[in-house]
Structures are given as C-alpha cells and as structure tokens.
Amino acid sequence: MSLLPLKWLLVAGLLSGSQVNVFGQSRQVAGPPPALGQYWVVLRDKAGQHFSPATYFSKPAQDRRHRQHLPACDSTDFPVRPDYVAGIRQQVDSVLLVSRWFNAVACRATPAQVAALRRLPGVRSVEALIVAPLLPAARPAALAGGSIQLSTADRQLARRQTESLGAKEFRQSRLEGKGVRIAIFDVGFNAVDQHVAFAHLRRQKAIVGTYDFLKNTPQVYRGGSHGTEVLSCIAGQLPDSTYLGLAPKAEFLLARTEQMYRERYGEELAWLAAAEWADRNGADIINSSLGYTTRRYFPEQMNGRTSLVARAAALAVRKGILVVNAAGNDGDDAQWRTVGTPADGDSVLAVGGIDPDTFLHIDFSSYGPTADKRLKPNVSAFATVLAAAPGGYVRTQGTSFSSPLLAGFAACVLQQQRNLPVMDLFHKIQQAGNLYPYFDYAHGYGVPRAAVFTQPAQAPAATFDFVRQDSAVAVIIRLEAAQVPARTLPLYADSVVAVSTDADKPAATKLGKEVSQQPRMVANSEPVVAGPAAPEYLYWHIMDAAGVLRRYQVLEVNQRAALRVPMEQLRPGDVLRVFYRGFTQIYPAL
C-alpha cells in the first residue's frame, strides 16, 4: 500500500467532503462551501414609510417633474421598509442593491439562505440573477489612445457627424443643450478631468455629478475610455473649436456602471442604481451606449418586458427622462442580428448606425424588429465618428457613438421646447427623421433633421407616381424630380434590376443590394466627401395589415422607371410604401 503525504490526504478529504483516516483516527472533513448566487428579492409593500420629495430630490429633479406635469412623487420613490431589509441582511451573505423603484433587494446567497428568504414575511418572490456583463456597443478599436495629429479627413468627419443632423440650424437658433441635464452610463471616463476636448465643460462646471457604481465612490475618471469617447460625441471639442457633438452647453451626470472586458460587480443592477441616482439628481436624458445580448438572453426575449434593465428604462421614462440607447453592433452576427436590451424597450429611443460614406445602414448595426415585431431602431446617426480619447482624438466605430449624437440632438430640442412631455419628445424626434413616415428595420425613420424644429414646415413635392401595369405596380420618377447632377434620368436604362420574388428571404439581407458602396471619385484627387445631405436613394417596403414589414430595400436610382413590384408579392391588407427625395406615397393592396 502506497503512503501519501498527510497534506495530500487532507486535500483529498476537502475535495471529497468525506471521512479521512489519518494515523488510524477517523476525521470528518468539510466539503466545499455552498455556492453563492445572486438573487433578486421582491418585497410585498412599503407600508408605514414616509417620504419628503423636497428633501430627497434635487431642485433640477423637482423642476423636471413639474415641467413634465408629473406628481412630486409616487410610491416607487418611497424608501424600502428598513425592517424588511434588515431581515434580508440577517439571512444572506451580502446585499448588493436596495431598489426603491422595484421595492426589491439584490443579494448574494446560498441555496439554503434562499430557502430561508422565501419564508420571510415581507418577501413576495426570490428570483435568480445571472451574472453577465453589460457590453459597450463599440467596435474593437485598433488604437489604444488618441492622437493630436488630425488629417483633413478626420476634420471633415468631425464636422459631418454633427452637420448630418443639422448642427448649422441648431447653432443659428442658439440651441446647444443649455440647461438640459444628461446622464451618461458607461464603463469609465478616463482623462475627462484633464482632456482639452472638455476644457469648456470644466470652465462651465458642467459636470454636476459623478458616481462609480462598481466601487461606490464619486471617482469616475478611470476604468476605461469608452465613456470619454461617448461624452465627446455630445459635448467634445477640437482644438480649432469644432464641436464633436450637438450639446456643448448641457450639464452632465457621469455614472460608471460597468467594467470593461470582465465582470465583477456590474450587470443590470448597476444600470438600475444609476437610473435611480440620475432621477434623483435631475437628469432630463439618459444616454446608455450599453446592452445585453447573447451573454444572458435569447433574441426572442428582446421584447422590452423581459430584462430588468428594460423595465428600469421604462420606469425612467415614466419619471420624465428620455432614455437614448445604442441599438447594438450585432447586425453582422448571424447568431443574433437584432437589437439588444434595453434598446428593445418600446419607450427607449434606440439609435442605429449609418455609414458616413453612403448614408446607408452600416453592416454591424443591429437590425429590428423587436421580438414582438415593434420598430427598432427608431432613428439613425453616423456610426463612424471622430471622438476624444486619452492622448488626443480617435476615429472609432459603433452604435455607441450614434446614440450620444442623438442624445445631443434631443438636448437641443428640449432646450427649445422645455416643457415638452418626454414621449412627445420621443415621437417628435422620430418624426424629424429624414425618411419619415417611411421606416425600415435597418434605418428606423432615418437621420433626424434639426430643420424640422427650426424652420417652417413645408409639404414635400411629389417626386414619383405609382403606375399599375398588367401584373405589377411600377414606380415612375416624375420628370421634375428626375434632375440629378449633370444629367436627367432616362425613363429606362440597360441597368434595370428586376425585383426579386423570393419573399421568404430575410428582408434585411436585401438591403442595399442595388446600391454602390464606393465613394464618388475625381481624377487625380482623393475621394469626394459627401455633404451633410443623404444621397437620393429610393426606399421601399411592403407592410402587412399588422404593421409588420415583410420586405424592405434601398435602391440607387439611375432611371425614371425606378421600381417594379409584381402584384403576386402583395397580399390582402398589405401596403407598398415608397420614399424618394422627401416624398412618401403608399399603394394599398386590395
């Protein structure tokens, strides 16, 4: 019989949790400690709790509720009963979060402790929380830091990312987000307290609150630079005074809610905690360039009601806060493709990404619809931007940056219409989309335009007609709308492309098949940089009686006979909707 050293016998006993015989004496060795899990404990009531809104809420928070025609407080604002919290603390390993909004406590506990929790008189339910990181909606960047050396193309991009949304019109109307408070939830804000891009914010004392919800400290200028880049797309500035976003006069609440690349304390709990903090401190807008996808959920759960973070976002909106969220970067992921949460929320303004060279959906931007067939994304903005980063500036990609561009846009509108109810603001931004009332699951309603809010409304001139043919309906561009640079569109051309009759093919895969992705070239020069206006594409979709798109497509118009849709593709109750040069018309199927 072989003799193992005593330490190996003890290790064996610890691993097996059984009896170990050492020198003839039998000893019971304990097994591994019970595994700790994270749990969400929902409580029954808030009976007996008192609440003073004037004491709890900041003055900006009180003012926001007044402007939004909301009561000074409601039951979700009342504190959680301390006796219930104390009872939970006695039963669990540790408490992670106490949520007023949901009257719930997040905690770490063993299975035995969970069983004890369920027997407490104040507990309504106990649910398991799966630890998963809330990922930033950015593409991996090649550069770790920024550079102060900017090319002409970089400077052009910096101007175009705001001009595409109407920066000139907002500036002429002196709309720069003044007086609007924006909360940013992100992984960290490295160098914001030192970077030249934010010197004007420091002078104005515009960063009015900070908090790190991972380490429970006000210090947020660490952890990662993704938040730095996001903030710059709302209020950053180049050394030549070019603004990288639309709201340089806004006020900011900076919340560190997640850890880059690895999970420790985070997940949806930190987002919820930050939302309650932002509400208390008077946020008008939350920008969240974060989202959950495959690490916790399935695509069929992206319905705006399943995830904790989607429900938290919905409650933030109920309290008068506009939530702007990146659609996500899974458009080229065959296993996911759709928007993540909380972008799936029906009252969350989900922002998709477009390519600055083509003004079309950029390949990685997540597609809609939601699992319950609602429109997502709602609107779009550039997903390739110039942003501030430690050491200078970087060209970077992701719907992470489309979202703050839109948050800045919303701040300008809110400055102009300070008493606008939050969902009216949501709908007005959608209606300002350059494609509205056309929509699809790649662009939403398109890129919002500042001119909608700063210039008198004008009815668009008709640009095409529907012409019924024997077995199809054709779209013919009107002669007065057929003028393109240097030529007039012919009625027919050799490059006519027939519409596919493969109705079962996923609609999103059809997007842009007939669109050139190459920038226009001039002999012996660099590619011509397009202006802020989108190229004159023709957009069309087929919508069923329930308002769900069965097919959509974008075409580059090179002839007046721009589209021919076989009637066999149109089912009873369907609507064919076409958009071209600001004009939308529908053709209803009988």
Going by C-beta distance under 8 Å and a sequence separation of 6 or more, which residues neighbour residue 346?
304, 314, 370, 374
Q: Which of 295, 323, 351, 356 is nearest to 530 (CA)?
A: 356
Q: Which helix (H) or strand (E) holds 22?
A: strand 19-22
Question: CA dihedral in degrees (363, 271, 199, 145; nearest 10)?
Answer: -50
- DSSP letter string, 44-104: S--TT----HHHHS-HHHHHHHHHTT--S--GGGSPPPHHHHHHHHHHSSEEEEEETTTTE
> Tokens 């609609």 — which residue?
507
Alpha-carbon torsion 199, 202, 203, 207, what sign? positive
In DSSP terms, 393 is beta-bridged to: 147, 388
The span from the CA of 260 to the CA of 224, in Å, is 7
E-strand stretches of 498-570: 537-543, 549-556, 561-566
> Tokens 């580059």 — which residue?
556
> Tokens 């930190």 — which residue?
270
Q: Which of 580, 435, 579, 578 is nearest to 588 (CA)?
A: 578
pLDDT tens, position by position, 294-307: 767 888 888 889 88
User: Pick the residue with more confidence: 575 or 16?
Assistant: 575
Asked if 277 contacts 255 with a C-beta cutoff of 8 angstroms, the reply is yes
447 has pLDDT over 60 = yes
Predicted pLDDT at 387? 97
Q: Which of 306, 260, 232 is nearest to 135 (CA)?
A: 260
Predicted pLDDT at 227? 96
What mean pLDDT is reported for the chain? 86
Q: In the structure, what pLDDT confidence band is assigned to residue 438 with cuts at 50, 70 and 90?
A: very high
Predicted pLDDT at 522? 28
Locate 162 and state its tokens: 């705001």
Specify the 3-state DSSP secondary structure of 453: helix
Q: In the structure, what pLDDT confidence band is assigned to residue 17 with cuts at 50, 70 and 90?
A: very low
- Cβ of 544: how many Cβ atoms within 10 Å? 16
Per-residue pLDDT, averaged over 174-191, amounts to 97
- Cβ of 347: how many Cβ atoms within 10 Å? 18
Amino acid sitting at position 191: A
CA atoms in the 13 A half-sphere facing the CB of 28: 1
* Range scoring the smallest mean pLDDT among 136-140, 233-237, 316-320, 353-357: 136-140
- Cβ of 83: how many Cβ atoms within 10 Å? 11
Q: Cis (ω within 30 of 0) for the bond into 136?
A: no
Q: In the structure, what pLDDT confidence band is assigned to residue 145 with cuts at 50, 70 and 90?
A: low
Per-residue pLDDT, averaged over 139-162, amounts to 80
In DSSP terms, 433 is beta-bridged to: 448
Q: For the chain, how big is the Rg over CA atoms in Å? A: 27
Task: Measure the CA angle with vertex 413, ends 412 and 418; round to 5°.
Answer: 105
Q: Helix-strand-coil percent breakdown of the chain, rounded to 5?
A: 25, 25, 50
* Range scoring the smallest mean pLDDT among 3-7, 191-195, 417-421: 3-7
Predicted pLDDT at 50? 93
Locate 415 and state its tokens: 């400055």
Collect contacts of 266-270 with beta carbons under 8 A, ≥24 apart.
266/133, 266/134, 266/214, 267/129, 267/131, 267/132, 267/133, 267/134, 268/129, 268/134, 268/292, 268/307, 268/308, 268/309, 268/312, 269/96, 269/97, 269/106, 269/129, 269/308, 270/134, 270/213, 270/214
In DSSP terms, 326 is beta-bridged to: 351
Taking the model in full, what pTM does it have?
0.87
144 has pLDDT over 70 = no
Q: Which of 547, 192, 212, 532 is nearest to 381 (CA)?
A: 532
